[in-house]
């Protein structure tokens, strides 16, 4: 990434504070080789207490993950001119992105985005009343030649695992295992391959600033360098998630928070950078179809527990978030809290 821009000084709320970070093994590690009552109870406790958990014995062949990781490392090792051939922009928000070569740098990373369904359909605009639909199409680099095949094979495994996790989460909420599956028939899911180069001034930067995920589920593969920090609900302390070999880190997003009517909460997290080593991570964002109306499940609301959110269209929400990466919109960057019902 080169030298740090002298203007690249983040506001204090974004800078990692070493005294506030706790390295802990508290994030639950759950064996999901079965869907026993015990496993479902562990999922429930993890979602309520943390919003995060790790899974082992998940069924994803490690050779497919390793092939995708190797192809990604080869891609990020290419000259910038080659990577820029598939650079994302406002017209196509899929492809390569390098934070060093954009204005208002905050995140110290390079990324490559691609959707699961190609094309993926989303609303063309965030404007209410505009029902035009646009197609997002992946753009793949010529090099390395096996990049696309490795990524697409790996993605199939992420989809299978995500449906399995959705079923476990549904059961933990006391609803049928397939309760969520209908929301994902034409899902807007995507993978983001992150590469965080070594940073000479790690106290002044973050790989990703504090945020919550706006989709349903995130399934994260990270290498042995680590760097993910989760904000603990009980006291706001930042917890460093130590890498567990072959595990996946799972977090519930805003959509599940709304579906569960706040029984489960999307939790803030961030990524710190490393002064010595680069880090590779591959999050899979499992998102509903663009036409899905997101609202609390009927089974989870009654007179004693009324709905805590107004309904919203997922596609419009998604489009607003994606477009705001490239230009200032005439609306505030939408958050799920904007749909909260204030009593």
Q: Label residue 109 exposed, middle or buried (CB < 10 Å: 0-12, 13-18, 19+).
A: buried
Whether the per-residue pLDDT at 330 is higher than 60: the answer is no
pLDDT tens-digit map of 199-247: 887 777 777 888 899 999 999 999 999 889 999 999 999 999 988 999 9
Backbone angles phi, psi at 254, to 5 degrees: -60, -35
Looking at domain 37-339, its CATH class is mainly beta
Residue matched to tokens 């994803």:
60
* Cα–Cα separations (whole angstroms), residue 203 to 8, 15, 145, 199, 228: 11, 6, 37, 9, 15
- Looking at the predicted structure, is the pLDDT value of residue 28 above 50? yes
pLDDT band of residue 73 (cuts 50, 70, 90) is very high
Euclidean distance between CA atoms 30 and 36, whole angstroms: 12
pLDDT in tens, 292-309: 999 999 999 999 999 999
Domain residue spans in the chain? 37-339
pLDDT tens-digit series, residues 314-327 = 999 998 876 655 44
9, pLDDT greater than 50 = no
- Whole-angstrom Cα distance, residue 299 to residue 332? 32
């Amino acid at each position: 990434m080169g030298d740090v821009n002298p203007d690249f000084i983040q506001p204090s709320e974004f800078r990692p504070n070493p005294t506030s970070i706790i390295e802990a093994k508290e994030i639950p590690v759950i064996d999901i080789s079965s869907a026993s009552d015990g496993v479902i109870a562990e999922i429930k406790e993890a979602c309520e207490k943390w919003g995060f958990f790790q899974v082992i014995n998940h069924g994803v062949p490690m050779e497919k993950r390793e092939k995708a990781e190797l192809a990604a490392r080869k891609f990020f090792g290419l000259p910038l001119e080659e990577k820029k051939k598939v650079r994302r922009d406002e017209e196509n928000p899929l492809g390569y992105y390098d934070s060093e070569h954009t204005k208002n740098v905050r995140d110290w990373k390079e990324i490559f985005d691609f959707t699961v369904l190609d094309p993926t359909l989303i609303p063309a605009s965030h404007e209410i009343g505009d029902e035009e639909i646009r197609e997002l199409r992946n753009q793949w680099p010529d090099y390395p030649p096996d990049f696309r095949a490795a990524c697409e094979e790996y993605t199939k495994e992420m989809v299978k695992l995500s449906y399995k996790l959705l079923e476990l989460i549904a059961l933990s909420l006391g609803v049928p295992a397939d309760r969520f599956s209908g929301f994902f028939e034409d899902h807007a899911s995507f993978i983001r391959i992150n590469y965080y180069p070594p940073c000479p001034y790690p106290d002044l930067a973050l790989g990703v600033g504090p945020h919550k995920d706006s989709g349903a589920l995130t399934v994260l593969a990270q290498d042995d360098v680590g760097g993910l920090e989760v904000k603990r609900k009980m006291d706001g302390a930042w917890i460093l998630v130590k890498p567990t070999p072959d595990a996946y880190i799972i977090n519930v997003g805003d959509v599940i928070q709304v579906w569960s009517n706040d029984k489960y909460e999307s939790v803030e997290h961030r990524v710190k950078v490393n002064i010595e080593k680069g880090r590779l991570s591959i999050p899979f964002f499992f998102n509903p179809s663009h036409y899905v109306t997101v609202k609390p499940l009927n089974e989870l609301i009654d007179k004693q527990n009324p709905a805590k959110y107004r309904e919203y269209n997922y596609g419009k929400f998604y489009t607003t978030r994606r477009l705001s990466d490239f230009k200032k919109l005439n609306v505030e960057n939408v958050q799920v809290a904007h749909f909260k019902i204030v009593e």
